[in-house]
Amino acid sequence: MKAKILTRSAVAAAVAVALSAGYVAGHNNVPAPQVISPATAAAMMPAEAAAKTGVPDFSGLVETYGPAVVNISAKHVVKETSARSSRNQLPMDPDDPFYQFFKRFGGIPGFGGPGGPGGPGADRPSEGLGSGFIVSSDGYILTNAHVVDNANVVTVKLTDKREYRAKVIGADKQSDVAVLKIDAKSLPTVKIGDPNGSKVGQWVVAIGSPYGFDNTVTSGIISAKSRALPNENYTPFIQTDVPVNPGNSGGPLFNLQGEVIGINSMIYSQTGGFQGLSFAIPINEAIKVKDALIKTGHVDRGRLGVTVQGMNQTLANSFGMKSPQGALVSSIEPGGPAAKAGLQPGDVITALNGVAVTDSTSLPSQVAGLSPGTSAKVTVWRDKSAKDLSVTIGALKDAKTASAKASAGGDDEASAQDARLGVAVRPLTPEEKQNDSLSRGLLVQQAGGAAANAGIQPGDVILAVNGQPVTSVQQLKSMVQRAGDSIALLIQRDDAQIFVPVDLG
């Protein structure tokens, strides 16, 4: 049977060659196909191989830069009854739609169990496995902060089986970047690329240690760029469909030129394994963190002191904007940098130091990249025109939790219904103002029609319409009557202020 299969294959190949030769002979302007030996293809970078053959060959990349990818073992002592990191702990209910949502995938539980030696509550070792890559020949290594979080002993293993005890130079949890150092010289290193030059749809390659399998190579494409994730405000992630799994965390993401453009950090998974959504920290962001950690041991980030939300076309129409670009300021931290500079709720931040703010997800990383104490030009859209404000950037580490409350006048008018908006409202009582630290606002008692369709609920407090503070029921009625087909309501709900676009039809 084997001989028949080989023969049949040979015949098929001969027919294919004959057809190709006939086509070229009849079409002199068509170049003959190039024949590239496996050895030649392996020596190429994937981009060159793809240009010549039409299919990327990653073997040259892996052979050249694979030795710079390392396996990381992080051991620490934990209480058996203590909860593991939420990045490695499965939620109790697997039917929850957010089950394993953006689960960190650096750790693999190592030792111990409720019935193990020592019994519940005893100290017992635990081990996590992750990946990393060498960025300097004298032993500096980049990985994820969560890979080495709380570790007592960190061990780095190279592809040639050499092992080193690593020192954690620094770990920045906000960016999830950590820097390790091993005592070695003349080590293989990766080549750093520019993720800004990458495009959605381009091939990328990951090398790491999924489930402890050293130097596993997987490939895919860039699915999206500058992706904002829940509770990860300062990193514009690269989204890929590269298969990554627990243990890949901290490993490099290569482009077709063999350059590292990201650090694999997260996956979206409902099972704990790969499901087509993986996220990498752009390497340019990671290098900034690395340099700061090596130099000072910590990372300073800028702070503006605002809460922002995304724009949509209805909100844009309400503020007289042609397109829903920018970050809408929903609240201002009292006494913060933005408040001192004169920013107001209802301002739409459209640029920072001349660089466009495309949406609310891009602003935090742009601000965080500024040095505290420096002056920045913030361009806002206010009253249907652009305005430039000068802001002295604060330090993120000094930020204090503040419930952003508005401050204006109020009145004591009776409850009233606005038919066009579909709400029944009344002024706040003195006691409500005191309890909620509000100086103005109208309490929503009932919501229907356009307001209910927009998500307005009883208990919400309407603070402003299209950025203009509301101080009375009559003022609200007048604003709604003069409005066009849509308005933007600034409301207080629980401890947060948000803009809600309302389509009035």
Per-position DSSP letters for 287-343, written without gaps between them: HHHHHHHHHHSS---EE--EEEE---HHHHHHTT-SS--SEEEEEE-TTSHHHHHT-
Annotated catalytic residue within 59, 73, 126, 146:
146
Per-domain boundaries in the chain: 35-299, 302-398, 416-503
Residue 85: predicted pLDDT: 35
**CATH superfamily name and code, 302-398:** PDZ domain (2.30.42.10)
Whether residue 248 is annotated as binding a ligand: the answer is yes
Q: Residue 230 in 3-state DSSP? A: coil
Q: For residue 455, is pLDDT > 50?
A: yes
Whose structure tokens read 């340019």?
Answer: 284
Q: In whole angstroms, what is the distance from residue 2 CA to residue 184 CA?
A: 51
Q: Which of 29-38, 155-164, 304-313, 315-324 has the lowest mean pLDDT?
A: 29-38
CATH topology agreement for domains 35-299 and 302-398: no
Beta bridge partners of 427: 442
Q: What is the pTM of this model?
A: 0.64
Is residue 460 annotated as a catalytic residue, yes or no?
Answer: no
As a whole-number percent, the residues of the chain with pLDDT over 70 amount to 74
Whether residue 247 is annotated as binding a ligand: the answer is yes
Annotated catalytic residue within 57, 149, 176, 418:
176
Q: For residue 393, is pLDDT > 50?
A: yes
Whether residue 415 is annotated as binding a ligand: the answer is no
Does domain 416-503 sit in CATH 2.30.42.10? yes
> Which of the four pLDDT bands, split at 50, 70 and 90, describes residue 238?
very high
Cβ within 8 Å of residue 358, ≥6 positions away? 325, 326
pLDDT mean over 310-332: 90
Q: Are the CB atoms for 418 and 425 separated by under 8 Å?
A: yes
Residue 275: predicted pLDDT: 82
Is residue 249 annotated as a catalytic residue, yes or no?
Answer: yes
Q: Are the CB atoms for 71 and 164 separated by under 8 Å?
A: no
Annotated catalytic residue within 73, 249, 331, 362:
249
DSSP per position, 426-490: EEPPHHHHHHHT-SS-EEEEEE-HHHHHHT--TT-EEEEETTEE--SHHHHHHHHHH--SEEEEE
Residue 45: predicted pLDDT: 66
Is residue 436 annotated as a catalytic residue, yes or no?
Answer: no
Q: What is the CATH number of domain 35-299?
A: 2.40.10.120
Q: For residue 34, is pLDDT > 60?
A: no
> Which of the four pLDDT bands, split at 50, 70 and 90, describes residue 407?
very low
